[in-house]
Copies of this chain bind each other. A is one copy, B any other.
Amino acid sequence: MRLTILGCNSSTPRADGFTTSQVLELGSKIFLIDCGEGAQIQMKKVRIKFRSIDYILISHLHGDHYHGLIGFLTSSSHFGRTTPLTIFGPRGLKEIIQLQINITKLSLSYQLNFVELYKDESEVIFNQSNIKLSTIPLNHRIYTNGFLIEFTPSNRVIDAENPRRGLNFQSCEAEQLKAGRDLKFNTGKTIPNQALTKPGSYHSYAYCSDTAYKPHIISMIKGVDVLYHEATFLESERKKAEQTFHSTAREAALIAKRAGVKTLILGHYSARYKTKKDHLKEAKTVFQSTELAEDLRVFQF
């Protein structure tokens, strides 16, 4: 699981900071999650190929989360993408994109599909290739979803802890073992698969931006490996956070602690904070395993 932060600022782009967008690589799939203005510029900086994106998830229709989408889609066509692309996002997004495609006479080189989200309850919106994708309904000024992305590998992995690991399997034998088959020798001897392998690792990522403090999401994100949770404000601006339906760093940490996640990543910072050190400090008083999102930072889990 690899997460690349393209932008992690709130509201408006800055001379030295981009708005929300990130790329998650999980299993064999790559997700572009939100797409603030200039996301494609950031992708070029970290050399993520546009055609590598399999799915796009848009949390809500505030500009700092979707203004870069039409540019990314247009450029993907200029670069000759041919594989279909599916966007999961709120109702209305399809109309916005389709109108621009029509009026500007843009002829896309690939098939563009939309899955429009409108439900107030969590739903599984994708379940294939060992990836399960569910919405996390959030509490913001307009209709907003977070996303829970879970990877359950079908393949088993050869158990490095197993005392028989010194057997030096041929590659075809290793493939059979990963596929769950027993190891058979010419002598007729058989070693059961489970004696040599263990299940592949489950990985999970939860993305929660933007939202007011919403403890209801805790049951959904229980024990995830990584939680990205917005922390627009510090506790000192908690009133402002409440008014604008955003969270403080401490609230993000409370969610992480109560959900028992492994790692919390903070982001969606207000422009009023020149440094994010206080966000980290505030969150760590509640939940130690906290990291700060930074533009172009890459997390490998």
Contacts and interface: CB of A to CB of B under 8 A. Distances in A.
A79 B12 CA distance: 10
A201 interface: no
B142 A104 contact: yes
Nearest to A17: B41
Interface stretch (A59-67, A152-160, A179-187, A273-281): A59-67
B74 A67 contact: yes
A151 B103 CA distance: 34
Interface in A193-217: none
Contacts of A37: 37-38, 40-41, 68, 71
A44 interface: yes
A167 interface: no
A189 interface: no
A71 B75 contact: no
10 contacts: A12-B74, A15-B45, A37-B37, A37-B71, A62-B104, A63-B106, A67-B71, A67-B74, A96-B99, A96-B100
B12 A75 contact: yes
A121 interface: no
A105 interface: yes
Given A44-B15, A63-B70, A71-B63, A104 B78 contact: no
A43 to B, nearest CB: 9
Given A12-B74, A95-B99, 15 more contacts: A12-B40, A12-B75, A12-B78, A13-B38, A14-B44, A15-B41, A18-B41, A37-B38, A37-B40, A37-B41, A38-B38, A61-B103, A62-B104, A63-B74, A105-B142
A142 B100 CA distance: 14
A14 to B, nearest CB: 6
A288 interface: no
A92 interface: yes
Contacts of A18: 41
A70 B67 contact: yes
Interface string A94-114: 011001100111100000000
Contact of A96 (B63, B103, B142): B103
A61 B104 contact: yes
In the A-B complex, the 5 residue pairs with the smallest Cβ-Cβ separation, listed nearest first, are A15-B44, A92-B103, A12-B75, A61-B104, A63-B74
A11 interface: yes
Interface string A70-94: 1100110011000000000000100
A95 B95 CA distance: 12
Interface in A49-63: 61-63
Contacts of A106: 63
Contacts of A63: 70-71, 74-75, 104, 106
A217 B104 CA distance: 24
A67 B74 CA distance: 10
